Amino acid sequence: MKLSVSGRTTAVGAVAALTLLAGGSMADAAPAPESAVAAAPDIPVAAVKAHLTQLQSIATANGGNRAHGRTGYKASLDYVKAKLDAAGFTTTTQQFTSSGRTGYNLIADWPGGDTNQVVMTGSHLDSVTAGPGINDNGSGSAAILETALTVARTAYHPTKHLRFAWWGAEELGMVGSRYYVSNLSTANRAKISGYLNFDMIGSPNPGYFVYDDDPAIEKTFKDYFTGLGIATEPETEGDGRSDHAPFKNAGIPVGGLFSGADYIKTAAQATKWGGTAGQAFDRCYHRSCDTTSNINDTALDRHGDALANAVWQLSS
């Protein structure tokens, strides 16, 4: 565990850190003041990578991809759903049709919390047909899965209600997420306090981009990375490019993280983030080489921990 003692450490983080430094465990810690925000647990990157290994195997056994309307998509959804069901989530499969093929969204609700204040976290689960899509977007799918499983494992009971989503057919133009939002009643739309999107968070030549959108959500992510000593840049180009777009268009506050796709890393970006200037953040973007080898473990670890932190902070 990393004990952050920077000036940005929250009061609760500091209490937890001091408790641990004193040799105590979290279970031994004195109850936190009621106003305090519960500290998010670490998301084990090994567990996230184990999900990626499964998604890779499923793709390999199904023609090499997890694309909309192909057998690999449904098999992957079944893998995610089984984990969530076993952990105590209430799961719903939402079916739709696009380009003459059946697609599915998977929605998982964590029982409890104020259902008039829903914090929603989503990632697209489909890949392109060219390859297994392990960074795009096995990375987001696996990280939000492990975050959901960590909610269950730690018996987290937030003030707000938690909902997770795995979208189908993003690669055909955000078809699944658009379908979900357009089928929400006006009343249910109004209950979503925020939507957090994770699409590509383990890029092999990574950047640290925070969606430049809802200020409170953006600050939660930025403060977390600042606490790790990592500089971020605003993601402004992606507004129309992933599943947060339908939520934003419906007036729901959105945010998210992105480690880069086909754009080229500049020299300035390589100076602050490491990696290779003059190369794409992900040279295997939408290609057959987007396999389990196409992941930067450190970036995946940090983005997973940052997303869990935001889920905890925004729902407590």
Which residues participate in catalysis according to the annotation?
Answer: 170
Binders in 131-150 for ligand TRP, by CB under 6 A = 136-137
Binders in 103-142 for Ca ion, by CB under 5 A = none
Under rule CB under 6 A, how many of the chain's residues touch ligand TRP? 13
Least distance in Å: CB of 304 to Ca ion?
A: 6
- The answer to whether 290 contacts ligand TRP (rule: CB under 6 A) is no
- The answer to whether 126 contacts Zn ion (rule: CB under 5 A) is no
Binders in 245-264 for ligand TRP, by CB under 6 A = 258, 261
173 contact partners, CB below 8 Å, separation of at least 6? none
Omega within 30 of 0 (cis) for the link into 137: yes
What single-letter DSSP state applies at residue 265? P
Under rule CB under 5 A, how many of the chain's residues touch Ca ion? 5
C-alpha to C-alpha distance for 109 and 90, rounded to whole angstroms: 5
**Which position among 42, 78, 212, 239 is part of the footprint of Ca ion (CB under 5 A)?**
42
Binders in 193-222 for ligand TRP, by CB under 6 A = 199-200
Give the x-and-dash track for 149-188 against ligand TRP (CB under 6 A): ---------------------xx-----------------
Q: Give Dmax over CA atoms of the chain in angstroms.
A: 61
Listed ranges 1-9, 36-44, 126-134, 196-204: which one lies at the site for Ca ion (CB under 5 A): 36-44
**Which position among 136, 171, 218, 305 is part of the footprint of Ca ion (CB under 5 A)?**
305
Nearer to Ca ion, 40 or 254 (CB): 40
Tokens encoding 195: 């939507």
Residue type, 122: G
Least distance in Å: CB of 227 to Ca ion?
A: 14
Least distance in Å: CB of 243 to ligand TRP?
A: 8
- The answer to whether 241 contacts ligand TRP (rule: CB under 6 A) is yes
- Within 10 angstroms of residue 111's Cβ, the number of other Cβ atoms is 11
Listed ranges 14-22, 188-196, 219-227, 235-243: which one lies at the site for ligand TRP (CB under 6 A): 235-243
- Give just the sign of the alpha carbon dihedral 292, 162, 180, 97: positive
DSSP per position, 12-56? HHHHHHHHHHTT--GGGSPPPPTTSPPPPPP--HHHHHHHHHHHH
**Which position among 109, 136, 146, 218 is part of the footprint of Zn ion (CB under 5 A)?**
136
What single-letter DSSP state applies at residue 137? I
Using the structure block, give the residue that is written with the tokens 């609760």: 12
Closest CA to 304 of 162, 152, 143, 150: 143
Closest CA to 54 of 292, 284, 287: 292
Least distance in Å: CB of 285 to ligand TRP?
A: 7
Least distance in Å: CB of 174 to Zn ion?
A: 11
Nearer to ligand TRP, 199 or 301 (CB): 199
Least distance in Å: CB of 236 to ligand TRP?
A: 9
Closest CA to 287 of 220, 204, 180, 189: 204
Give the x-and-dash track for 34-73 against ligand TRP (CB under 6 A): ----------------------------------------
- Give just the sign of the alpha carbon dihedral 93, 94, 97, 98: negative
Closest CA to 136 of 307, 272, 300, 269: 300
Tokens encoding 305: 């921990």
Interface residues with Zn ion (CB under 5 A) are 136
Interface residues with Ca ion (CB under 5 A) are 42-43, 45, 301, 305
